[in-house]
Amino acid sequence: AQSVTQLGSHVSVSEGALVLLRCNYSSSVPPYLFWYVQYPNQGLQLLLKYTSAATLVKGINGFEAEFKKSETSFHLTKPSAHMSDAAEYFCAVSAVNRDDKIIFGKGTRLHILP
Amino acid sequence: DAGVIQSPRHEVTEMGQEVTLRCKPISGHDYLFWYRQTMMRGLELLIYFNNNVPIDDSGMPEDRFSAKMPNASFSTLKIQPSEPRDSAVYFCASSPDTYTEAFFGQGTRLTVV
């Protein structure tokens, strides 16, 4: 079974500052890991995903995440925050076994301070 | 493809009424998921289907909730009777499998008064 924990339900950063959203996972088999973003009144959309290729994954809008097996982490970063990054971010995990469902974290709301 | 299509986008109903939410997945996707999102509980998986067959409905909160997928291009989530605590945003998502990305619809915002 898999699980995912997002540290911090709310994170505030100043515009132009580093964004770091934390995600730790638990999986008994090699995981697939995802970050999704949800803007107000919209569904979730994929930012990036890790599927056992390169450990540093680049996504849309300048975001990237690094898979660290030793730390069971998949933190999301962006070097310089923009006001348009204000949204809710979800980390998710699944596995290679068929019918293993995608498990989402509880989400982190990112606030950008002017 | 137009993506996952949900209807209606907004639904306001009175307590005790039946509510039906609809979803059209992306063509060719074998998996369909129904989620509920609230401030208190976050994003909860209610049920998911593989090739129109329900695989895991352990997230369905009560017998008042039921979901069907009569064919590959249509699914419904029904609440009967509805209660104010069912107020939430309900999302449908589809995926070619469970280990690549899920594509979400825009959601249905349900308000039960």
- Range list of H helices, chain B: none
Structure confidence by residue, pLDDT tens digits, B8-66: 999 999 999 999 999 999 999 999 999 999 988 889 999 999 999 999 999 998 899 99
Residue B100 token pair: 């690549």
Nearest to B40 by CA among B9, B79, B85, B98: B85
Residue B74 token pair: 């249509």
Taking contacts as CB-CB distances below 8 angstroms, the residues of chain A near B100 are 32, 49, 51
Give me the residue from B56, B100, B104 closest to A101, CB to CB.
B56
| Binary contact (B100, A104; C-beta < 8 A) | no
Taking contacts as CB-CB distances below 8 angstroms, the residues of chain B near A46 are 101
| Binary contact (A98, B104; C-beta < 8 A) | no
Q: What pLDDT score does B101 carry?
A: 86
Q: Which residue of chain B is at minimal alpha-carbon distance from A49?
A: B101
Q: Which residue of chain B is at minimal alpha-carbon distance from A101?
A: B98
Tell me how far apart the terminal alpha carbons of chain A are, to the nearest angstrom.
41
Task: Provide the shortest C-alpha distance from residue B80 to chain A (in Å).
Answer: 25
* Per-10-residue mean pLDDT, chain A, length 114: 89 97 89 93 92 88 95 96 96 75 90 96
